[in-house]
């Protein structure tokens, strides 16, 4: 597990850690941190691939359901195609309260990053998915199972909805990243919002 850091902000105590990538590792981090951090709330944020070319790069995406194309969630929740993201409306209300533009929609969670094939992409897009990532379904499943609350938002990065993969790198952006300090700031303010 990566180190967990604690700090005070706006007269509240918060803990933060950078999770490993992928559903099994991310869920293991949550399982491990429940013995270290006295909380039932996890703010989960990061980059995602975009399945709709109309969604601008860098746009905040709030998932409402996650398509379960990974294995970890099935160890925590009964089999189904989708798992409901319990706190999507809370996150959307926060975004509206602070005036951050966002889009809500389904996400596709897969642990096979190199199998985001044209065929799989087209199925997920036709089903209403707007993003693809590697952890959401499993994190929601473990949180439901452990009676924890997860609050998700993603940042739209690379584009699958194009004739060929479009990395959509911006000027001065570190290659292969979709994060910046602003995303942490959003997560921290969201943590304050849900702590009230």
**Which pLDDT tens digit goes with each residue over 159-177?**
666 666 666 566 655 554 5
What is the model's pTM? 0.90
Q: Which CATH architecture has domain 5-195?
A: 3-Layer(aba) Sandwich (3.40)
Q: Which residues does 97 contact at the CB level (< 8 Å), separation at least 6?
A: 193
Average pLDDT, the chain: 88
The stretch 61-83 carries a mean pLDDT of: 98
Q: Which residues does 31 contact at the CB level (< 8 Å), separation at least 6?
A: 142, 146
Measured CA to CA, the distance from residue 35 to residue 33 in angstroms comes to 5
pLDDT class for 181, splitting at 50, 70, 90? low
The stretch 4-30 carries a mean pLDDT of: 93
Instruction: Choose the most confident range, by mean pLDDT, from 25-39, 75-89, 169-183.
Output: 75-89
Relative to beta strand 102-110, strand 41-50 is unpaired
Distances (CA, A) of 2 to 37, 74, 142: 13, 25, 19
């Amino acid at each position: 597990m990566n180190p967990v850091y604690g700090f005070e902000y706006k007269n509240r105590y918060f803990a933060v850690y950078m999770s490993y990538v992928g559903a099994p590792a991310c869920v293991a981090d949550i399982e491990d941190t429940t013995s270290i951090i006295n909380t039932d709330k996890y703010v989960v944020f990061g980059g995602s691939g975009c399945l709709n070319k109309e969604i601008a790069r860098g746009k905040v995406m709030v998932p409402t359901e996650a398509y379960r194309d990974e294995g970890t969630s099935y160890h925590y929740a009964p089999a189904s195609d989708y798992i409901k993201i319990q706190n999507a409306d809370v996150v959307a209300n926060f975004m509206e309260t602070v005036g951050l533009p966002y889009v809500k929609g389904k996400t596709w969670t897969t642990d096979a990053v190199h199998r985001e094939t044209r065929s799989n992409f087209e199925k997920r897009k036709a089903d209403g998915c707007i993003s693809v990532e590697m952890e959401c379904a499993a994190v929601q499943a473990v949180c439901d199972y452990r009676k924890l609350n997860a609050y998700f938002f993603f940042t739209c990065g690379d584009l699958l909805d194009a004739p060929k993969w479009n990395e959509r790198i911006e000027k001065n952006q570190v290659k292969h990243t979709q994060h910046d300090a602003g995303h942490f700031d959003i997560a921290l303010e969201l943590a304050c919002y849900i702590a009230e």
